[in-house]
Every structure is written in C-alpha cells, then in structure tokens.
Structure 1
Amino acid sequence: MRGERVAEVGDLREANAPRVIEAGGMCVTPGFIDTHTHSDMAAFLGDDHLDLKAATVRQGVTTEVCGNCGSTPFPMLPERREDLARSKAIFAAEDGPWESLAEYREAVGARGLHANLAPLLGHGSLRAGVMGMDNRVPRDDELQTMVRLAEAAFEQGAFGISSGLIYAPGVYARTEELAAICRAVSRHRRPYTTHMRNESDLVADSVREALAIGEQGGVPVHISHHKAAGRRNWGRTAETLEIVRAARAAGRDVTVDVYPYTAGSTMLAAMLPPWALDGGFDAMRERMRDGVVRERIVRDMESGLPGWENFSQLAGWDRIVISSCPSHPDYEGRRVHELADEAGRTPADMVFDLLAEDAQRTLMILHVMDDGDVRNVLGFEAAMVGSDGIPVPGKPHPRWAGTFARVLGHYRREEGLLDLAAWVHKTTGLAADRFGLHDRGYLQAGKVADLVVFDADTIADRATYEDPLLPPDGVREVFINGRAAVSSGRLTSSGRCRRLEEKMPATSAVRWLWGRASSLCYVAMVWAGRVLPGQSLTSSDGAAAMDWGHWSSPRPGGWRI
C-alpha cells in the first residue's frame, strides 16, 4: 500500500517497505462492506461507548451503508424540526444543527469516524420533514417539495433512497408516492432500498410492490434484511427469491441483503397498529395513557388487521426481549412476558407502559425467523450481507458486532454454505457494485486500501444476546484508507476514515472500468486467500508504537503485507 491506495498486488517478496506484516497462512481481502446499518449517529456517542462504536471495525467492516429503513438525520426543514426529531426513534443521539446531507456530513466528519459512511436518503425522514407524521396522501406542493429535497440530497452525495414501510410516517405512503420520488432521482442510478411493507404473511406481495416501485420509478431495487417472519411463514423465502430471480432473468436490477441470525430487532413502537402511530410519538404517548385506546389495540392484536405485521402474534410474548430501555435499564435483556409476570401486568399493558414513558428509545429483539430461510437468502446469488445493526447502549442485537465473522465462521466453515471466494465477493465487491463504491470492494492496484487480514480457520463470532459486543476471533488486521484501524486484533487510534462522496472523479471512473474488466484477477487472489510467504500488498503513515512483525529496509512510503 502507498498512502491510502493499494500500490501493487502480486508476488512482491523482493519489495521493500517501511513496515511489513507477516500474514503467512492468513487471508487478505478487501474490507467488508456492511450494506445495512443504522449507524448514522454513532459518531455522536460519547467516548464511554467506544466498544459500541467500534464493534463493526473489529470484525473487518471498513464501510457502512447507513440511513436505512427510511430514517436519516436529514433533510431538516427548520419549521419541521420537531416533527422530524419525533420520527427518528432509531437513533441513539439527539439531532444536530444541520439541515442538509452536506451539513450532516461535515458534522459527522468533525467528530471522527471508525468506518467509512455511505449515507442513503430516508423517505420517512423526507416525508416527516415536509408533511409531519400525518396519515394522508401528500398534496401536490408537498410532493414537489419532497422531490426537490430528494434531488438536493442526491446532488450532495446520497448513495440511494431508503424506505421503512412498517414505520410511521412511511407506513402511510402509497406505492405511487414512492415511485414518484424515485423517478425524480432516477438519473443518478442509485438504488431504492426498502424495509418492505410486510415481511410475514404478505411478504410475496411486498416483494412485488418493491419491484413495482423500482419499475415505475426507473431505479434499481434492493430489498433490505430479507426474511419470512412468523412460524406460519417459515420456508417462504423459496417463493420470494423465485420472484426476485424471475425479475432478474427479465432484466430487472434487483438485489437483497440479509443478516445471519433468526432474531430481528426494531423499536418497541412497531408493536402497535399503524393507526396508533398517527401524528407522531407525542400523540402515541397520549394514546398509551387512554384505557379505551389500549383496549382497542389489544383487540387488534388478538384479531389482527389487514396488512398489519402483528408482532405479538408473529413472535409471541415469550419471544420478545427488551434490548434498550433508557427509562428502565434493568429491563434490558429480559423477556416481555417475564417482566409482565413480575409486575402483575399483562404483556400488552407492560408494552403500553414502556411506550408511554420512553416511546422513542425503547428497542426490542424478536425471535421470529427460521435458520432454513436465513440459509436460503444467504446462499442466493444476488444476496449480500447487511447487519441491520443499531448501535445503541443497552443489550443491542449481537449482529452489530458479529455478523461478518458469523457468516465466515459459522455458515461457511461450520455449515459449508458456499466457498470462501463467494463469501468474500458477497461482503466486498458485490456490495461495492450495488452502492456505487467505485474505489472500494476489490483488491486491485489503484483501489482505496480498505483491507482485512483474517484467519479462515479460526474466524468466529463471539457476540451473544447476553454479551452482544464481544469482538470476534480470527480478525488480525484492518486497514481503512491505508491506515491501521485494528492491529494484532486490537483497536488502534490511527484509523483514518473518509466521508464518502457521490461524485466519481474521472481517474476513479477509469480505475472502476478497469477493475470491472479485471475482476477475474480479484477472484483468483481471494480464492488463493492464504497468502504465500513473501506474497505482498504494499501503505504509509503507520503508528510507530505498534509491533508490525518485523521491519524491512525502507521503500518510500508504504506497508507490505
């Protein structure tokens, strides 16, 4: 490596560099790209949450696609700041003084990052910023304002537009609204990523709606955390993936991502039917204090509503765990039905009480999936890996700290699902291609030096639901933009991260085209994996206080691995 770029790849046993890492028997790959995170505000967490902020880097993640499920910290119209703040329950910190993506990018960059960020534009935040949390169709002028703000965000570097169609206010948006906004930014050729309207009983219909939005909007489609939730739907990923496969065969640009766990995680407010969320979280809190409203919600939970994803039935109260609850941290890691029994309350009343106190900050973990479906999606040719990690204090889902080590350890090595080259491509090049990260995702000369050195025989996730931030085994070195972020398995302070830009310079465009043409070279390098003695990659500016194995005679500015 030289500077922040890969200088050469190949047999470099005769090359010299100021710093050398002996990686015999290890795998050297591009840095992993997490295609689905909620790390938009992680940079604003305090230093006492370092383990939380750096959990992804420790498993080899060098780039995070954030702003998923329709929720982003921008755009922020001054007159709608309060509405937007109420819509963003998934974040762990307060809103900042920015209004646009460009201003948010500057604020995040000033705080320092542990991994590169590739932000999407959240449709839910866009809608809340223009028309509040109301359950209605936008007026023509409101739709035009959303279009204008979306175009501005894409000009400022948005990597796509996301929707969260089970969350307010996205749940109130019709297909036509989403397609119209996508159509307005279609010239950028960035994907529409979606937490679909339903991932359980109506999962097939929801896949078809996502495809319709992409077709009407003229944009690629990326289905987030694809699953089949609820025991009665287990096995249905065979059906939904066939729909996606048929669309791809017909020339449609559609992909999916998945996390390697049978439990999901989201805000506790998702337990409520959509009508109970109308008007935002303040209005919802008032409803939670009304006994008549509570009774109506319980009836809906028992009987269901058309199209509503009813988690109380899909999971059952004994399979719902409180993961983050600032008002009652002693509840974290406890099952709802256990808390209810101890308090002499019904599980529904326990949920209502928590929402009345702390609606925006209480998160849950739901055990609703089957491992057979997880395997189906992981093995799908157009599937990539996204942790869906939510970096919040408490006992977050272990996927934030364990996803990439788990796919390489458990599913590849222990279960024999796909080979190493396929997994590396899913977690690097495939993801880079989908989100237009033209200088990343491939181990080639001229690309940005985002690299991971790991042991394929020992890499394994250690994060659990009880101890969710345990770092993985087997990840030895991580480089981000040419600087060491993890050394000998330990986090360093020298990792330098960049704020990713939407515009691709001409030189990068040439490198990207060449990289696509020479992808076979990349695959061969990854398949070889276990670096031969003397086989090397040569970056500059390492921290002299660290032990890098041994030193060799200097070659101007560089690392050699």
Structure 2
Amino acid sequence: MGRPMDLLLRGGTLVDGTGAPAREADIAVTGGRITVLPPGAPADAAEVVDAEGQVVTPGFIDVHTHSDALAAPYDADAGADAAEAVEDLRLAPLLQGVTTEICGNCGTSLFPSLPERLPELAEHLRVTFGLGPIQPAVDFEAFAAGQDPDLRRTHLASLVGHGTLRAGVMGFEARPPKPGELETMCRLLDQALSQGAAGLSTGLIYPPGTYADTEEIVALARVAAHHGKPYVTHLRDEMSQVETALEEALEIAVRSGAPLQISHHKTAGRHAWGATLRTLPRLERARAEGVDVLCDVYPYTAGSTVLHAMLPPWTSEGGVGALLERLRRSEVRDRIRADIGGGVEGWENTVGNGGWDLIAVAAAQTHPEAEGRRIAELAAERGVEPVDYVCDLLLAEQGEVTIISHSMREDDVRRVLASPLSMIGSDGVPKPGRPHPRWAGSFPRVLGHYGRDQGLLPLETAVHKMTGLPARRFGLTGRGVVRDGAIADLVVLDPATVRDGATFDRPLEVPEGVGTVVVAGRTAVRGGRPTAVRAGEVVRVR
C-alpha cells in the first residue's frame, strides 16, 4: 500500500454484505476507501480497532426514512431542550450502525416545486416533518445545498415525493392534473432525477397523493424508468384492500417499465391480518413474470404517521389551512364520524379497521402530557367523543401531530422479514416527543431479536438485507459491500450481544453491541459513543 493506513479493523469476522458466508479478514481504510487484507497481515495504521470476536459489516442503509429535514437548521427560538432533542434524533440512526439514509419516501420530499408554490408547500411540510419552519426547494440541487454539513451525521439520498411534486405544481386540489400540469410535473421530475435524486415515491393514502389516479402515476413512473430508477410506493391501501392496491402498483410497474419497491410492506388491521400469505407469493409470481419488484419492512407490529391521515381525504383538500378551518365545524365532525363508521370507497380508513384505542399520540408539541397515550383513553378522560378530541388536538397544534398505530400481527411481520424480496427500512419519523422506537432500534432488532434469538434469519442474510441488497436497488455505487475500493462506511458489532434498546416508553434508548461505526473513512462511533465526526454527505445517484 502506498501510504500509511488511516484505520485498520484487525482480527474481525467479515460479513461483506453480499450474503456470502462470513470469513476472517482485516479491513484497511485509506483515503476513505477500503482494502480487504488477509488476517494478521502486517500493517501500519494511524488508528487500529481490535475487532477480535466481533463482526465487521458494511454500513447499514436505511432505505425508508422521513429524515429529510433533520440536517436543516433547527428553529433557534425553540430553546436548548428542543435543540438537544433534535440532536438525539440525528444520532439515533448512527448509533445503530446506519451510515446512509434514503428520504423522500411516502410521496413527501423537500423538493421539487414551482417557485410560486413554495409558501403553500412550506406549510404542508411543517406539519409533515414537525421540526419548525421548513424551507422547500425548487429542485434537488437546492435541496442538497440546504443540508447543513455540520449537522450531517450520516449520508443522505432522496427520492422525489409525488405528493410534493403534485402540490408544487397544482396545489392541493382533488382533481386530475391538466395536460400542461402533468407535463410540468414530468419535467420537474426528470430534472430532479438527472441531478441525482434516487427515484420516485408515492404515498397514496396521503393528500394530495391520494387524489391521483393510476394514469397520473404511470406517466410519472415512466420518467423514473427512463432514468433506470425505481418507483417506490406506499400503497393506496395496506389494510382491507391491500391486495387490490398491490395490483395497482404492479400495473404501474408493468406499464411504466420502472423497478417497483413496495414500501414498508404490511397487511394491517383486522380485515387484512394474515394476508401476507397471499401478497408475498403474488410478489414472487410477479418477479417470475419479469417484474423487478422488491419491498422493505420494519421489525415492529406498530406503524407511525401524521394524525390527520386518520381522517377522510376530503378533509385535507386545499391544504393545511383549509383542513384546520373545516375541523372547527360540527357538521364536518359529524361527517368524519360517519365516514369512519361506514367507510369511503378508495380510502384506507385506519380507524375503521381498528379503533381509536389502537392509536397513540407520539408528538404534540404543546400537549406533551398526551404523548404515549391512546386517543380513546385521552378522549374518555376529557369526556368527549374521539373525533372531537382529535379535531381539537389538531387545531391546538396547528395540524402538527404524529401518532403510532398498533395495527399489525407478528406472524405477518415475520413473513415479510424472512422473504427473499425484503430489505430493512425503519420508516423512522424523527420528531421530538415520543417517536416510534424503530428510528433508534430497527437494525439491531433484526440482528438480535429476529436473527440471533429467534433464528429467523442467518446473520449473512440479515446483513445483506441492510447493505448489499438496498445498495443495488437504489444505485448506491461503492456502498453496501465490503470490497477493495468501496467507500469506507463500516460497522463493527458483537453478534452475541447486539440488540435494540429502544421501546415505546424510551424510544431513543441506545442499542447494545454496536461498538464502532465508520462514515466515509472516519470513526463516527467509538466504543458505542458518538465522536465529533460529521462526515455525512448528500448522495447523488447517477
């Protein structure tokens, strides 16, 4: 080697991210790149990590996050406690071994938009991301420029969110786009993908994405296909109509030619429990027929999203301001109750499929006493009907409330985790308050609880689902596999002790067994504790 090494990981067992059997190897890092050495090879390094009895893997790739705004400057008026809470959120992925996050999921990204739509879009994004005022961007380059490198603990790639794209061109109207509007949407998408965005995402339960029909999505997915980038979708229904929604996604993939990624695949709510017995074989059949379809999954039976997504889609037509104005009116609340009770065609209706007793408040900035508690209990305590409690809370919080929905069954989660088509994504919603523990625990939970303790996945397979498979799916060249010349994003962990520490009561508890994390060749976690290194970059996918 021409120059002394910056870092040497000596004596460990290499699980290289390809799914191949583990082997003994030393890993050298020079200039941010990897060289794989025979065990015990003589070497001179500025820093040596003794990895004896440990496993060395590629840095984990979280394929599904909502961390778009975490490295944007936080509201200076929010106070020291809030700033500390946000820093804890920034650290959570890194401390579990994540070195690259993919944001822009479920149809919401911080870009693109026509300039004149930016103010209205900013209000929508404030409610979605919950980190104070959010500045949307006209394109991917402006988004990348808005990421503060001093706040960037991990690398970040971003999809183009269809809901943001739609709102950035035609606002929050519940109608098909006019031909000129669709042409503009396609143009902005093409530009963003050319600049390095990783693909197109939809969130077809969320306004304004839910207002789009199949034809609109096919037209946009064709743009993604032209760039060889995936169409990533939160299905139109993950509950009683999940199989119908899955067929729509497969139709879009076939007609557009885009690779298809099913986001956080689940079959939630009592009417869909057990449906993975049908959905997973359907995906395998589609692959056999030539559709490039994969999925991701988080290792929990509860999901998390914004509270207003529990209301019928018509409530959000016109944007956040229109939503809040409607919720003041008693006749609107009566209509919401009726729609939840009877259902609305094409609407997922989470509450109707479960109940307010399964939904807990995760983040409500001015009502911290509600965080961690179920809606039904909170409403009963106040002596009001749950819909009225929800509407009042949304009004008090200016729409900015996040919830956790306990809607899935363990056997379905296990089936998706074990599927050869799945990779791991946290679906983390990093907001202060009491967020879902998946933001801090997903990857060690798969390795420890499901892999080692329950024997659901061999270590090599679990690591592949976190590294090599997502890197290939999202075009993350040089990442996800430990090989000569690869980018030096690395994790050293103890396979005997690695486990998640995060719980619903303590959602940011640090995991056990993750000792060293290297980001771009620099040691970002040492002895399980973060260093001062902030080496994360915005990743451009070409």
Q: Give your verdict on TM over 0.5.
A: yes
TM-score w.r.t. the length of structure 1 is 0.88
Q: Report the secondary structure of 1:269's partner residue.
A: helix
Partner of residue 130 from structure 2, selected from 85, 89, 92:
92
User: Cα deviation per residue 1:333-359 (whole Å; 9 max; x = unaligned)?
Assistant: 111112111211111110111122325
Residue-by-residue CA offset, 1:207-252 (whole Å, 9 max, x unaligned): 1111111111111000000001112211101101111000001111
Which residue number in structure 1 is paired with residue 382 of structure 2?
Answer: 343
Structure 2 residues not aligned, in runs of 5+: 1-28, 75-82
Aligned counterpart, 2:52: 24
Counterpart of 1:240, as a letter, is T
* Residue matched to 2:371: 332
Q: Secondary structure at the match of 1:62?
A: strand
- Once the two structures are superposed, residues 512-533 of structure 1 have per-residue CA deviations (whole angstroms, 9 ceiling, x without a partner) of xxxxxxxxxxxxxxxxxxxxxx
Task: Rate the CA distance shift 1:181–1:95 in 2: closer, same or farther, 3 A.
Answer: same
Q: 1:270-419 alignment to 2 at 5 Å?
A: 270-419=309-458
The match for 1:38 among 60, 63, 66 is 66
1:111 offset after TM fit, Å? 4.3
Shift of 1:296: 0.9
Matched, 1:430 2:469: yes
- TM-score, structure 2 as length reference: 0.91
Alignment of 1:143-542 (within 5 A): 143-503=182-542
**Which residue identity is paired with 1:176?**
E
Secondary structure of the corresponding residue to residue 446 of structure 1: coil
Corresponding residue number in structure 2 for 1:79:
116
Task: State the shift of 1:269 in Å.
Answer: 0.3
Q: Is the 8 A contact 1:479 1:495 kept in 2?
A: no
Deviation at 1:124, TM superposition (A): 0.3
Aligned equivalents of 2:420, 2:484: Cα separation in 1:
27
| AA aligned opposite 2:114 | L
Identity of aligned residues (%): 48
Take 2:351 and 2:302, find their aligned partners in 1: how far apart are those partners?
14
Whole-Å separation in 1 of the counterparts to 2:73 and 2:56? 31
Query: Which amino acid is the alignment partner of residue 368 of structure 2?
Result: P
Separation (CA, whole Å) in 2 of partners of 1:136 and 1:105: 31
More deviation in 331-340 or 379-388?
331-340
Q: Is the 1:87–1:169 Cα contact (8 Å) retained in structure 2?
A: no
Q: Which has the higher contact order (CA 8 A, sep 6+)?
A: 1
- C-alpha contact 1:36 1:68 (8 A) present in aligned 2: yes
State the alpha-carbon separation in 1 of the partners of residues 395 and 290 from structure 2.
48
Paired AA for residue 231 in structure 1 = R
- The superposition leaves residues 492-515 of structure 1 with CA deviations (integer Å, 9 ceiling, x where unpaired) of 112411221223xxxxxxxxxxxx
Q: 2:32 matched to which residue of 1?
A: 4
Task: Indicate the SS of the match to 1:42.
Answer: coil
Deviation at 1:315, TM superposition (A): 2.5
- C-alpha distance in structure 1 between counterparts of 2:354 and 2:365, whole Å: 24
1:110 positional shift: 4.0
The answer to which of 73-82 and 250-259 deviates more is 73-82
Conservation of the 8 A alpha-carbon contact between 1:38 and 1:90? no
Report if aligned partners of 2:121, 2:168 keep a CA contact under 8 Å in 1: yes
Specify whether residues 12 and 448 from structure 1 end up closer, same or farther in structure 2 by C-alpha distance, changes over 3 A only. Answer: farther
In angstroms, what is the RMSD of aligned CA positions?
Answer: 1.2
Residue in structure 1 matched with residue 14 of structure 2 by the alignment: none
On the 8 A contact 1:45/1:53 being kept in 2, the answer is no
Q: 1:307 to 1:62 in 2, by over 3 A?
A: same
CA deviation string 1:75-118 (max 9, x = no partner): 13221113312332321332227422101101204443111001
Partner residue in 1 for 2:18? none
The count of residues paired between Structure 1 and Structure 2 equals: 503
1:321 aligns to what SS in structure 2?
Answer: strand
Preserved CA contact (<8 Å) 1:90 1:390: no
Q: Distance in 1 between matches of 2:136 and 2:257?
A: 34
Deviations 1:349-391 (A, max 9, x none): 1011112232532000000000100000000101000000011
The alignment partner of 1:282 has SS state of helix
Equivalent-residue separation in structure 2 for 1:403 and 1:479 (angstroms): 19
The alignment status of 1:127 with 2:155, answered yes or no, reads: no
Aligned: 1:60 with 2:97: yes
**Deviation above 3 Å: which 4+ runs of structure 1?**
109-112
* Structure 1 residue aligned with 2:16: none
Give me the whole-angstrom Cα distance separating, in 2, the residues matched to 1:290 and 1:45.
36
Q: Secondary structure at the match of 1:185?
A: helix
What is the CA deviation profile of residues 278-332 of structure 1, one whole-angstrom value per residue up to 9, with x for unaligned ones?
A: 1111111111101011111101111112221112222312111000011312211
Deviation at 1:12, TM superposition (A): 4.1
Residue 182 of structure 1 and its aligned partner are, at CA, apart by 1.4
User: What's the counterpart of residue 104 of structure 1?
Assistant: 143
Aligned residue for 1:232, secondary structure, equals coil
Question: How far apart in 1 are the matches of 2:481 and 2:414?
Answer: 25
Return closer, same or farther for 1:97/1:178 CA change in 2, 3 Å cut-off: closer
Local SS of the residue matching 1:184:
helix
Q: CA deviation at 1:455?
A: 0.5
Give the match's secondary structure for 2:441. Answer: helix
For residues 498 and 79 of structure 1, what CA distance do their matches in structure 2 show? 29
1:118 to 145, 157, 165: 157
The residue aligned with 2:15 is none
In structure 2, what is the Cα distance between the partners aligned to 1:190 and 1:441? 18
